[in-house]
Structure formats: C-alpha cells, structure tokens
C-alpha cells in the first residue's frame, strides 16, 4: 500500500494514542463521524484544509499524517527483514506498519542499528585479537606475571620452614610481581579502552600507512599535477612514525603516481562524464591495464566519481595488502577475509576480469558491484614462478542486482550456516 494512501490509518493511530473518541474528533474537525470512519479506514482520500484541521486537533504537523514515517525508517525496516534470514510475508507492507505503529517501527529500527553496531565492534575486536601485536604482548605480559606470582605463592604455601633470607626473597618477588601485574593490567585496560579502536587505529606499519592515505582521502593532488614527489609527501608526513610505515607509504604513492601518469585525472573525468564508469572501456581508451584503471577509480574524490568507492589489493597468498574502506562493506584489517570475494576468483584466473554483485551476511540488504582482476607483477625469467596480485573495486548501490552472491567479511565473524568455504567456526551464534 502506498504511503500517501495511509493517511487515514495515521489519523486513527494518533487519535487512539490521545484517547480521543471518533465522534469527538469528527465534531472538532467539522465533519460527520461516518465520514471520519471512512477516512480512518483509508476509503476516502483527505487533503487540503480538512487535513490541516484534523492535524491541528490531533496536535501534529500535517506532514506527519500525509507522509508518515521517514523513508530512512522504512528502508531500515526492510533491511532488518532481509537480515533476519527468515521469509517475511508482509515485507511489502513495511510502509503500512511504519505508518500505523511509528513507535514500534522506530524500536525495531533502533534494535537493528544497534545489532549492526555490535557486529562491527565484535568484528574489530576479533581482528585485533588476531593481528594486533601490542594487544598480544600485553595479554602475554599479564599471563606470564600471573604465572610467576602463582609459582612463588605455591612455594611459600607448600614448603615448610624456610630460612628467613629465602622467605624474604620470595616475599620481595611477590611484591615486585604484583606491582608488575598491576601495571600490565592497567596497560591492557588502557589499550582496550582507547579511542583508537576504530578503523583509524594505528600500531602496525600497514595500519600507519593506510591511516596516512585515509587522512588524505586517498587522493593526492600534488602527485596529480607533479608539484611533489612520493618522497616529498612521505618526508612531510608526521603521522608516519616508523621506517617500515614510511617505506610502505612510499611504495603505495609510487604506484599512485604511475597510475596517474597512465590515466590523467582530467581525461578520466571527461571519459566518466561521457560514458560512465566502464573500467574495461576506460582501459582500452587509455591503452593501459585494467588494474591501473580500478586503482584510479578508487582514488577519485566522490564529487568526481559521483559515488563512494572502496578498494582491496591482495597478493598470491590472499593477504590484504591495501584497503580503502567503503560504507557497509566490512573488511578485515589484514588477511583472513572471505574466500568468496570476487577478488579471489580473479586471483585464480589471472588477466580475466571478474564482476559480481554481492551482499554481505550480517550487514545490510545493500548490494555491491565488485569488479576484480589479477595481474603478473613482473615478467619472470625461465625457471621462475610468476608472482600475481589481485585488485577489486567495490561500488555500493548495485540497484539492478539480480540474485547477488552472498559473501562474508571473515569466517570468525560470519553468521552464515553451512557455508562450503568456511575454514573456521564463527564466534557469532545464530541468535546473536
């Protein structure tokens, strides 16, 4: 049922909330009770002066009765239904539900948003437990100190009389280990509670390099116009604190500059304006490889590309070497990503373009247009095995997607049951 035909249902719902009788509302609005009954059952359309009058009696804006719930609320309800995994027979009546029961609709939508936020938190914490060396070192320090205290206490408890000198030594060890445990526990709590738990948190060289790219919006005008070199940008970047991070960032910037020379920004803008986003056609037009075009499209500002874009690059081991996040598509920090991503289908079919519409489990109902390809890093010599890398461009809003392929983020946080590609059990229960 269309939203503009539910005005009567909203009038009735608002009247019942206020505890007002139908006859009372009809009298205040200057119409008969029978006519109001037809309106409330959506058998008579209403608008203009009568709608304004009834809205005034009910104490709401006319738009609340004529338009009902916001489109975002209805969209969230549809996402919640899609993410439930169960068939919803009344999916086409989400508008009516939001119009008649806006309070309950908002509760359901808020619950869905909170579940999505909790999933993201679990994903981030799981990823940190797997890949964060600082967290691993802190946990190891706490456990080793606790083991030392337990060992010393066991000696004191199980041994009979000790020489005063040895007893004092054990007591001193207990005191020192207790202080060390206190300090390491505080450090662990501080590490877990710090604000940098999100995507911009640093700690590893690759995280530092990606945070540097993120702070620049993954776009570097100075490299586009040749006014600076990668060395200049790395030297001036105070956020790159380690030598390894600077080396990684410079290698990424060198690739950026090479792609910018192959596919100049202004020419790329004109081609997109004329023919839209067609990577294969763009690669043919610029006489370059498809990987360079995919990387260039992901580096464009949103106002140039016309939409948000994400990017991932992996090597032959499947480890993620570079990530540009995109809203709604979960990416693990490094490695351990879903083997069903088109990125890996491209990796086993080098130089063959792969395009899939995908939907991530446990996220939302939005489909993503994923375009991937793999290429040989350099020409191998006789007797050498080739080294391959793969790149995948991720564009949200694949509205014409037909039966999109379901994928996950990583096995540890994917709720999909019976997945043939699962390599480890999920830490999420079905009822989470």
pLDDT of residue 206: 83
pLDDT of residue 431: 34
Q: What distance in Å separates the CA atoms of residue 321 and residue 86, rounded to the nearest whole number? A: 36
Report, as ranges of residue numbers, the positions in the chain whose pLDDT lies below 50: 1-3, 69, 195-202, 430-432
pLDDT of residue 95: 72
pLDDT of residue 195: 45
pLDDT of residue 365: 61
Statement: the pTM of the whole predicted model exceeds 0.75:
no
Beta-bridge mates of residue 326: 329
pLDDT of residue 168: 85
């Amino acid at each position: 049922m269309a939203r503009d035909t539910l005005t009567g249902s909203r009038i009735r719902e608002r009247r019942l909330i206020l505890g007002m009788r139908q006859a009372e509302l009809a009298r205040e609005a200057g119409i008969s009770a029978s006519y109001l009954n037809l309106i409330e059952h959506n058998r008579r359309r209403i608008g203009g002066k009568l709608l304004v009058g009834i809205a005034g009696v009910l104490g709401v804006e006319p738009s609340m009765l004529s338009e009902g719930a916001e489109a975002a609320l209805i969209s969230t309800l549809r996402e919640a239904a899609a993410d439930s995994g169960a068939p919803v027979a009344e999916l086409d009546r989400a508008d009516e539900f939001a119009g008649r029961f806006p309070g309950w609709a908002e509760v359901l939508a808020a619950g869905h948003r909170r579940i999505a936020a909790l999933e993201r938190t679990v994903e981030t914490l799981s990823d940190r437990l797997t890949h964060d060396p600082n967290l691993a070192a802190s946990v190891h320090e706490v456990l080793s100190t606790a083991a030392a205290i337990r060992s010393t206490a066991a000696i004191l408890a199980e041994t009979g009389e000790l020489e005063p000198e040895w007893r004092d030594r054990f007591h001193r060890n207990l005191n020192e280990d207790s202080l060390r445990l206190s300090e390491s526990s505080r450090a662990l709590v501080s590490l877990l509670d710090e604000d940098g738990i999100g995507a911009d948190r640093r700690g590893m060289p690759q995280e530092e390099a990606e945070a540097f790219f993120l702070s620049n919006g993954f776009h570097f005008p100075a490299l586009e116009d040749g006014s600076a070199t990668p060395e200049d940008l790395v030297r001036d970047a105070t956020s790159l604190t380690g030598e390894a991070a600077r080396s990684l960032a410079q290698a990424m910037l060198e690739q950026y500059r090479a792609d910018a020379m192959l596919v100049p920004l202004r020419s790329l803008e004109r081609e997109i304006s004329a023919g839209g986003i067609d990577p294969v056609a763009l690669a043919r037009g610029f006489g370059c490889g498809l990987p360079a075009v995919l990387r260039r499209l992901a580096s464009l500002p949103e106002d140039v590309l016309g939409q948000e874009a994400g990017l991932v690059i992996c090597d032959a081991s499947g480890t993620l070497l570079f990530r540009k996040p995109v809203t709604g598509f979960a990416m693990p920090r490094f490695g351990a990503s879903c083997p069903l991503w088109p990125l890996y289908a491209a990796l086993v079919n080098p130089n063959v373009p792969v395009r899939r519409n995908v939907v991530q489990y446990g996220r939302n109902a939005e489909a993503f247009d994923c375009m991937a390809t793999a290429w040989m890093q350099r020409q191998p010599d006789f007797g050498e095995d080739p080294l391959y890398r793969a790149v995948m461009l991720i564009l949200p809003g694949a509205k014409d997607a037909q039966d999109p392929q379901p994928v996950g983020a990583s096995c540890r946080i994917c709720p999909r049951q019976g997945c043939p590609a699962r390599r480890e059990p999920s830490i999420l229960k079905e009822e989470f």
